[in-house]
């Protein structure tokens, strides 16, 4: 008799939420010329954060503090909440996994937008849950639709990214706050704010950690340029946040990431520089798209979705052309959003390389009709 | 109605497997004079690994390769197996969590030694499993007892650390291999070899990755001095190892750790230095114990358990005295092993500080009768 996996594990497919760019590079034997597919911050981490990580490398023989005390305390002060309202984890991905584990067992339902972040879906399915999906409404997450679906299905979790990924659209914080009033008390809203630093003021609702059924996810992976360090956090009611201590990998956040995040958080000038650079890069992507007569989706994130003007099959050919040309990009997976390709805010050099390949990719995609 | 946690999550206690030394330092306001409680390698990571991590810090804006390709390939070559036989994860702790998730659902049983690694127990309980515990046999894990208990209970998982933690005792690889023949085919042996680099040749059985029900755990946290980087791996049958891809946090192993581990693996000279230094430190701990008329448990790990010669209450007083004196150490939690305190292999300076506090701690413990 072979090993006895759980029923849930036996039924899981061997899929992966995302294939990394390195896999493609190994396949082709050529490094990408521009890395614009994972919404990373090409503008890098703060010099202070790099120095802090270099120092921490020498101390890597010591486990990191399992309470993540220093960074948690700094984050509490930064957000005007108590440390009990914050849990630090191995990126938002890791924290979404813990959230799913705390709430989802076979038969449970989670609501999300059809085409939103695949890793949330991966974790829900991974604990035997079912997904109830709501279509985007004109390239925005359909907030009333998500709430209605939660009521209809009795969902335990509702996922919303604001700003949205992969489209970059956003919802005003006050609109979000109003809709929250309609959310059933026993449904927990997982509000993924990975890109919130790039959004206009007002996109984030005020943080009310007394509300028992909202948990917000933030990260050092995007605006802070620390994707490879693996550190993110969630903010919420102390009872909800405290439950993570029952299941998390207590020593899971590495010591170097804790040091880097702490230094990054206090370097406001670097953050300003990144946000400004992203602004300019978004404008440049809009300009490049426009030079081909194409529209873009207004974005509050560090990427822009370019509407390739036709169907998903066409956009997939454009994407394939870009990737073959050495430009790592990704695209939405679900119609009609899959008419777009998604380009991360690159350096000027990155975007020149993208621009050089975009025209030929569009032409090749058109000629394949 | 409040958020609806799963039944398993609702029933979990808010306990933590280990309290970190930083928590104690914050309580007392004083840093420890010697950090000898978490079996970390005070001899540090390889200089090559430090340089690799420093370089990777600058690149931390990029996610790490989710396939962990480079380090996995190097490990496969190192162990003479195929990459499909290796899964890299966020330390052994993280990997044990995935193992429990793959196998344990409410009602399932895992077998372990009473007093062995608490984090394994944490993960089994965390997925609703029950633990069947086998007492140590003269300070060694009782291999025939573990196998018999697995048969008796129909356990899905059996945990064995070789060398053992917290006692440091070990089992010859050939004895282990013989006993494996008795293990039920449908029970998976989780063989935790975190300390195997410190053990005499022959402690590790030959690696047979064709066996479907053994998975071995190794780490960069101990002999390689990278506890704070959070990277470990498991070796086993491709079907068993491949199942981790269904549930793991694919981007969970940070980029800096991947770079550090790769450099550490190829610095055999540093590993030899560490193993030699640990040898000498173990001898020194034996000598210090002997100077107080105390026995030690023969150890194949980077720590030594000192038999304080009386009961658990006495050893706990000794431990409290050491901790108050600024020496971070831990001890076994279950009788009769809790007659010991466990001292990690420190530098000469560390062990001098330990020696200076040990006598007074023993005296204070005795005078408290």
- pLDDT recorded at residue A1: 67
**Is A230 within 8 Å of B251 when comparing Cβ atoms?**
yes
Classify residue B131 by burial, with Cβ atoms within 10 Å: 0-12, 13-18, 19+: middle
pLDDT digits (tens, 9 = 90+) for A119-167: 999 999 999 999 999 999 999 999 999 999 999 999 999 999 999 999 9
Pick from B42, B60, B92, B227 the residue to mutate for testing the A interface (most A CBs within 10 Å). B60
* Degrees, nearest 5: CA angle A233-A236-A240: 100
The residues pairing with B133 across neighbouring beta strands, listed in sequence order, are: B112
Axis crossing angle, helix A348-367 with helix A312-324, rounded to the nearest 10: 130
**Is B242 within 8 Å of A14 when comparing Cβ atoms?**
yes
- pLDDT recorded at residue B368: 87
> Which CATH number is associated with domain A7-44+269-367?
3.90.1150.10
Residue B301's H or E segment, with its range, is none
Token reading at A32:
């990408």
Closest CA relative to residue B90, chosen from A14, A70, A257: A257
Comparing CB atoms, the residue among B45, B90, B246 nearest residue A61 is: B45
Rounded Cα gap, residues B166 and B342, in angstroms: 7
- pLDDT recorded at residue A325: 97
- CA closest to B108 among chain A residues: A6
**Is B226 within 8 Å of A61 when comparing Cβ atoms?**
yes
User: What pTM did the predictor assign?
Assistant: 0.97
Token reading at A190:
């997982």
- Please say whether the dihedral angle defined by the alpha carbons of residues A145, A147, A150 and A153, taken in this order, is positive or negative: negative
**Is A228 within 8 Å of B8 when comparing Cβ atoms?**
no
- pLDDT recorded at residue B16: 72
Token reading at B181:
């023949």
Comparing CB atoms, the residue among A6, A64, A227 nearest residue B103 is: A6
Rounded Cα gap, residues B286 and A237, in angstroms: 50
Residues of chain A with pLDDT under 50: none
- pLDDT recorded at residue A363: 98
- pLDDT recorded at residue A207: 80
Token reading at A109:
């339902």
How close is the nearest chain B Cα to the Cα of A288, in Å? 25
For residue A47, the number of C-alpha atoms closer than 13 Å in the C-beta half-sphere is 2
CATH class of A47-267: alpha beta
Measured between beta carbons, the chain B residues lying within 8 angstroms of A60 are 45, 49-50, 53, 225-229, 260
- CA closest to A249 among chain B residues: B94
Rounded Cα gap, residues B12 and B10, in angstroms: 6
C-alpha dihedral (A36, A39, A42, A47), degrees to nearest 10:
-170
pLDDT digits (tens, 9 = 90+) for B160-196: 999 999 999 999 999 999 988 999 999 999 999 999 9
- CA closest to B223 among chain A residues: A61
The residues pairing with B113 across neighbouring beta strands, listed in sequence order, are: B134
**Is B101 within 8 Å of A228 when comparing Cβ atoms?**
no
pLDDT tens series, chain B, 369 aa: 678 999 999 999 877 778 899 999 999 999 999 999 999 999 999 999 999 999 999 999 999 999 999 999 999 999 999 999 999 999 999 999 999 999 999 999 999 999 999 999 999 999 999 999 999 999 999 999 999 999 999 999 999 999 999 999 999 999 999 988 999 999 999 999 999 999 999 988 888 999 999 999 999 999 999 999 999 999 999 999 999 999 999 999 999 999 999 999 999 999 999 999 999 999 999 999 999 999 999 999 999 999 999 999 999 999 999 999 999 999 999 999 999 999 999 999 999 999 999 999 999 999 987
Phi, psi of B277 (to 5 degrees): -65, -40
Pick from A38, A60, A108 the residue to mutate for testing the B interface (most B CBs within 10 Å). A60
Closest CA relative to residue A264, chosen from A70, A86, A27: A70
Domain residue extents for chain A: 7-44+269-367, 47-267
Rounded Cα gap, residues B212 and B99, in angstroms: 14
Helix (H, G, I), strand (E, B) or coil at B133: strand
Comparing CB atoms, the residue among B1, B90, B105 nearest residue A249 is: B90
- CA closest to B221 among chain A residues: A61
Comparing CB atoms, the residue among B22, B185, B245 nearest residue A65 is: B22
**Is B14 within 8 Å of A242 when comparing Cβ atoms?**
yes
- CA closest to B122 among chain A residues: A247
**Is B245 within 8 Å of A66 when comparing Cβ atoms?**
no
Rounded Cα gap, residues B355 and B352, in angstroms: 5
Q: What ipTM goes with this model?
A: 0.97
Maximum CA pair distance of chain A? 63
8 Å CB contact between A342 and A323: no
- CA closest to A122 among chain B residues: B247
Comparing CB atoms, the residue among B8, B186, B252 nearest residue A90 is: B252
**Is A3 within 8 Å of B240 when comparing Cβ atoms?**
yes
**Is A256 within 8 Å of B228 when comparing Cβ atoms?**
yes
Chain A to chain B Cβ contacts (< 8 Å): 272
For residue A324, the number of C-alpha atoms closer than 13 Å in the C-beta half-sphere is 12
The residues pairing with A218 across neighbouring beta strands, listed in sequence order, are: A233
| CATH number 3.90.1150.10 given to B18-44+269-367 | yes
> Which CATH number is associated with domain B47-266?
3.40.640.10
How close is the nearest chain B Cα to the Cα of A345, in Å? 13
Measured between beta carbons, the chain B residues lying within 8 angstroms of A44 are 58, 61
Rg (CA), chain A: 21
Pick from B254, B259, B277, B350 the residue to mutate for testing the A interface (most A CBs within 10 Å). B254
Comparing CB atoms, the residue among A35, A105, A226 nearest residue B6 is: A105
**Is B50 within 8 Å of A60 when comparing Cβ atoms?**
yes
How would you write chain A as a 3-class SS string? CCCCCCHHHHHCCCCCCCCCHHHHHHHHCCCCCEECCCCCCCCCCCHHHHHHHHHHHHCCCCCCCCCCHHHHHHHHHHHCCCHHHEEEECHHHHHHHHHHHHHCCCCCEEEEECCCCHHHHHHHHHCCCEEEEECCECCECCHHHHHHHHHHHCCCEEEEECCCCCCCCCCCHHHHHHHHCCCCCCCEEEEECCCHHHCCCCCCCCCCCCCCCEEEEEECCCCCCCHHHCCEEEEECHHHHHHHHHCCCCCCCCHHHHHHHHHHHCCHHHHHHHHHHHHHHHHHHHHHHHHCCCEECCCCCCEEEEECCCCHHHHHHHHHHHHHCCEECECCCCCCHHHEEEEECCCHHHHHHHHHHHHHHHHHHHHCC
> Would you give the end-to-end CA distance of chain A in angstroms?
53
The residues pairing with A83 across neighbouring beta strands, listed in sequence order, are: none
Cα–chain-centroid distance for residue B353? 25
The residues pairing with B217 across neighbouring beta strands, listed in sequence order, are: B192, B234
In chain B, the DSSP E strands lie at: 34-35, 86-89, 109-113, 130-134, 157-161, 188-192, 214-219, 232-236, 303-307, 327-328, 340-344
8 Å CB contact between A319 and A252: no
């Amino acid at each position: 008799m072979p090993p006895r996996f759980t029923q849930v594990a036996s039924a899981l497919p061997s899929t992966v939420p995302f294939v990394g760019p390195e896999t493609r590079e190994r396949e082709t034997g050529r490094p990408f010329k521009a890395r614009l597919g994972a919404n990373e911050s090409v503008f890098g981490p703060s010099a202070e954060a790099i120095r802090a990580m270099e120092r921490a490398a020498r101390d890597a023989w010591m486990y990191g503090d399992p309470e993540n005390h220093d960074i948690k305390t700094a984050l509490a002060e930064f957000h005007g909440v108590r440390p009990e309202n914050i849990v630090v984890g191995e990126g938002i991905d890791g924290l979404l996994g813990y959230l799913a584990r705390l709430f989802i067992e076979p038969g449970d339902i989670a609501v999300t937008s059809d085409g939103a972040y695949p890793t949330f879906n991966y974790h829900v399915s991974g604990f035997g849950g079912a997904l109830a999906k709501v279509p985007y409404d004109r390239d925005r997450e359909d907030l009333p639709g998500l709430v209605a679906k939660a009521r209809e299905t009795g969902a335990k979790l509702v996922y919303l990214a604001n700003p949205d990924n992969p489209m970059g659209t956003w919802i005003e914080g006050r609109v979000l706050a109003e809709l929250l009033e309609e959310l059933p008390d026993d449904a927990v809203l997982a509000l993924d704010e990975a890109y919130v630093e790039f959004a206009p003021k007002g996109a984030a609702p005020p943080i009310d950690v007394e509300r028992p059924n909202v948990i917000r996810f933030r990260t050092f992976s995007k605006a802070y340029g620390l994707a490879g360090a693996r550190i993110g956090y969630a903010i919420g009611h102390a009872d909800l946040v405290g439950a993570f201590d029952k299941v998390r990998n207590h020593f899971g956040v590495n010591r170097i990431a804790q040091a880097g995040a702490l230094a990054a958080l206090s370097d406001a000038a670097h953050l300003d520089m990144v946000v400004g650079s992203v602004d300019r890069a978004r404008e440049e992507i809009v300009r490049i798209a426009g030079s081909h007569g194409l529209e873009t989706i207004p974005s509050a994130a560090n990427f822009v979705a370019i509407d390739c003007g036709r169907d998903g099959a066409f956009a997939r050919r454009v994407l394939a052309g870009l990737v073959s040309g050495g430009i790592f990009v990704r695209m939405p997976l679900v119609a009609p959003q899959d008419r777009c390709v998604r380009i991360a805010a690159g350096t000027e050099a990155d975007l020149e390389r993208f621009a050089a390949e975009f025209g030929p990719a569009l032409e090749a995609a058109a000629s394949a009709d």
